[in-house]
Structure 1
Amino acid sequence: MNPESTLNQLKTALPNGQLPNSFGVYYKNTLVALCHALEDHILQTSNPDPNQQPLVLVTFQEGKWYLQEAERYYDLAQYCRHVAIAALPDSGFINHRTGQLENVSLVHLDTSDDLIQEWNLIVLAPGYTAMVLCYELSEEEYLPQGLPSVDTERKFYGLWTFDSNLVRKSAEILIERIQPYNPELANQLQQQHQQIIGTTSTTIPDLSGVVSRIVTYLQTSQQELITINRQARELRELEGQAKRVSRNINANKLQAFLRMAQRVDERDPYNPCASLQVSALCETIGQLIDLPTVRLRRLRLAGLLHRIGLASAPQEVFTQTPEEMDDATRALWKERAVIGGRLLEAMPEIEIVKNVVTHQLEHWDGSGKPDGQQGEEINIKARILGLVSYFQELTLPRGKRPALSLSEALEKCQQFSGTRFDPQLVESLSTVVRLTEMGLMQLPDRPTQLPNVWLEENSSVNQIKSNG
């Protein structure tokens, strides 16, 4: 990655040089989707008060400006205090009506400026900040295949975040890069930036909608890649396996397993919706780290079935902490994942889900069960399930232990970051908890999709539906 890029300058400016866990390599269509999600949030939550409207800084990669995007920014500018667009002079802005708007400033980049390889979107508003920073891979980094001939196969180093410190620092970096082109505009943008920092938001920002849109766009763009990616054959094969699982979703064995999982929840007086909540939060974490749709589907099902190994457990398992249990009950508790996996062996069609359930108690440092798997050797879905099930259980009472708040439960998880749990996943969970405690989203209490048998049989689900 070029050291002069906005992305790399941000990394250098951070105290520990650690970019957020959303940093990675993104395909072109995913990048467009992320930007559209943030743009749609502005369009759908517009405020007539100019002092509450956002400042938007955007750069467009060389040769990648499209007429429909120009039209998007015409609409977007109606709800922004100022939009600064940096692109090559031949991008079409000069003649497009967007470039004629009073609150739109154009910065004509020089062809020698490395900024033409970036696609950035920075949103600064009273009450919230958001951004997407991206830089395209160099021709050498595309080797051995070379530059892709299909535009949607282009790749970018990138990240997206709502972290105000990161967004504001990136804005300062980008404004500094604009300064040589137009010092007066750069000073104006810096003044507006400072005004926004000093302005109190008149409403509590609700980012749950934009988070949901980001997740939806990511899922949609991932589905589009299935038909265009060079690994399309492998992905189609995975999709085919998922469809076969879907066709069997109402098979007798799976119905029996789902009912068995429901019965486990019904026996738990302290945590009667454990399977629903774990499945829902697993799905959210999976979406934030951009798991493909096929894997999300399996993760949802593993969440619903994660306690099936307790189907024949004594009642003490649900009313006592492990420290309070006798030796026999504690031994069963420790083997619950293996027992659940053995039960699910009866249905080969969901072998991958069975493996996720079996390995949910593996530890990042290799000290877990049943196989002592370590680090990324542990399936990502099992890592998510193990973290989320532990966190969810802490938020409800058990035996003599009271329920912990979300932040207290998170702190417990953070104590095991790098030993029991994947540090990156703990960071993803931390993001969800922070947004929830700030009132910017609601902690999910049920997955986006549920088998019909669950809806028909589980009275707790019906209660949830009637309440909300």
Structure 2
Amino acid sequence: MTVVIDPVFSVYRLTQRDTDYSLLRHRRTMSVVSYEIENATLLDGAENVIFSSFQRMSKFLPQVDRYTRIAARADQVWVFGIPDVAVPPIPNVTYVPLEAKDQLAKEWFLVSYGPGYASALATEELTHIDDPDDMRQFRGIWTFDRRLVNVLYGWLTRIVEADTYNIDQAEFNETTHLTRMANTITRMETLTGDDRLTQMESSLIAGEIRETLIHEVQAVYTRMMADE
């Protein structure tokens, strides 16, 4: 199956229709957040549909082993990127080729959606992918808002012509979702103190992630109160 991507389609801009905040900025933060969204499947058992953009497939190659394990636990996995290198076939992973002119080639996004967990990282690069990693800058959000993630999921499934399923409020397990959010917060406390990170990186990541998680926990709580 050949997937043709609308060159102006943007995951990041879809999120901006529903929210006006943009908290994440640094490339290292993008990496840490991506790992944690993936860990909801890899470590916490969320059998989700995952859409993951690496901008270029050469950026995906170092993650092949990890994504082989993720795909074995996920419902479906879709990996987006410019095909600048050959990538190996992985069971349950579908590759979606991008072109340099595509807006999605300028975005780092990861969307994970299922009945017990919903999260999305949606960012747009302000620099260039070839810039040194410590110089790369993004703007974007990390959200656990099921309704917003559902919108992203719906658009992406239509674009790749994937099978889709709707999870209504009654089917979504909010308790499991909150438990997995709590697991993420616990792991974040360890990651931001990782010896492999410089003190500056740890400080930047901790600040960005703390601000985001506070915002998201408040949003989830507000939604739960409104739904009662």
- TM-score class, shorter-chain normalisation, is 0.7 to 0.9
> With CA pairs under 8 Å and 6+ residues apart, which has the higher RCO, 1 or 2?
2
Shift of the 124–199 alpha-carbon distance from structure 1 to 2, 3 Å rule, reads farther
Shift of residue 125, structure 1, vs aligned partner: 1.0
Cα distance, 1:118 vs. partner?
1.2
Equivalent in the alignment of 1:104 = 93
1:430 aligns with 2:226: no
Match in the other structure for 1:72? 66
Which residue is 1:127 aligned to? 116
Contact 2:145/2:220 (<8 A) preserved = no
Cα–Cα, structure 1 residues 91 and 131, in superposed 2: closer, same or farther, change >3 Å? farther
**Is 1:85–1:107's contact at 8 Å kept on the other side of the alignment?**
yes
1:212 to 186, 189, 212: 186
Counterpart contact for 2:24–2:142, Cα < 8 Å? no
Q: Give the Cα–Cα distance (whole angstroms) in 1 for the partners of residues 40 and 137 of structure 2.
A: 25
- The offset of 1:219, in angstroms, is 5.3
Query: What secondary structure does 1:165 align onto?
Result: helix
**Structure 1 residue 224 corresponds to structure 2 residue 198:** yes
Contact kept, 8 Å, 1:129 with 1:167, in 2: the verdict is yes
Per the TM alignment, residue 173 of structure 1 is displaced from its structure 2 partner at its CA by: 3.1
SS in 1 for 2:74: coil
Deviations 1:394-417 (A, max 9, x none): xxxxxxxxxxxxxxxxxxxxxxxx
Q: Distance in 2 between matches of 1:88 and 1:225?
A: 33
- Tell me the equivalent position of 2:54: 60
Distance 1:68 1:436 in 2: 39
Question: In the TM superposition, what are the counterparts of 1:289-438 in structure 2 within 5 Å?
Answer: 289=211, 427=215, 430-431=218-219, 433=221
Cα 1:287–1:170 change in 2 (3 A) is closer
- The question of whether the paired residues in 1 share the 8 Å contact of 2:68 and 2:90 is answered with no
Determine if contact 1:65/1:91 at 8 Å carries over to the other structure.
Answer: no
Q: Deviations over 1:115-165 (max 9, x none)?
A: 1111111111112201111111046xxxxxxx8852233111121111001
Q: 1:368: which partner in 2?
A: none
2:5 counterpart residue number = none
| Structure 1 runs, 4 residues or longer, greater than 6 Å off | none
Deviations 1:304-342 (A, max 9, x none): xxxxxxxxxxxxxxxxxxxxxxxxxxxxxxxxxxxxxxx
CA distance in 2, matches of 1:157, 1:222: 24
Cα displacement (A) at 1:9: 2.6
For residue 24 of structure 1, what is the aligned residue in structure 2?
A: 23
Residue 75 of structure 1 deviates from its aligned partner by 0.6
Q: Which residue of 2 aligns with 1:200?
A: 171
| Structure 2 residue aligned with 1:82 | 76
Q: Distance in 2 between matches of 1:121 and 1:55?
A: 11
Q: Secondary structure at the match of 1:119?
A: strand
Change (3 A) 1:59 1:225: farther
Distance (whole Å) between structure 1 residues aligned to residue 60 and residue 95 of structure 2: 16
Change (3 A) 1:202 1:151: closer
Mapped to 2, the partners of 1:202 and 1:61 lie a distance apart of 32
Q: Distance in 2 between matches of 1:29 and 1:126?
A: 29
Q: Aligned pair in 2 of structure 1 residues 70, 428: CA closer, same or farther (>3 Å)? A: closer
Find out whether 1:170 has 2:152 as its counterpart. yes
Structure 1: unaligned runs, 5 residues or longer: 48-52, 140-146, 180-184, 229-234, 236-283, 291-424, 438-468
Which protein is richer in strand relative to its size? 2
Q: 1:209 to 1:435 in 2, by over 3 A?
A: farther
Give the share of equivalent positions with the same residue, in percent: 20
- Paired residue type of 2:90: Q
Alignment partner, residue 288 of structure 1: 210
Equivalent residue letter for 2:63: E
SS in 1 for 2:198: helix
Inter-CA distance 74–199: structure 2 relative to 1 (3 Å threshold): farther
User: Which residue of structure 2 aligns with residue 161 of structure 1?
Assistant: 143
CA distance in 1, matches of 2:184, 2:192: 12
Q: Check the 8 A contact 2:78/2:96 in 1, yes or no.
A: yes
Q: 2:104 aligns with which of 102, 109, 115?
A: 115
**3-state SS of paired residue (1:90):** coil
What value does the CA root-mean-square deviation take over the aligned residues? Answer: 3.8
- Structure of larger gyration radius: 1
Does the Cα contact within 8 Å between 2:125 and 2:139 map onto a contact in 1?
Answer: yes
What are the ranges of 5 or more consecutive residues in structure 2 without an aligned counterpart? 1-7
Q: Tell me the CA shift for residue 57 of structure 1.
A: 1.0
AA at the equivalent of 1:289 = E
CA pair 202-81 structure 1, distance change in 2 beyond 3 A: same
- Per-residue CA distance 1:27-48 (angstroms, 9 max, x = gap): 111100001011112111226x
TM-score (norm 1): 0.39
Aligned to 2:16: 11
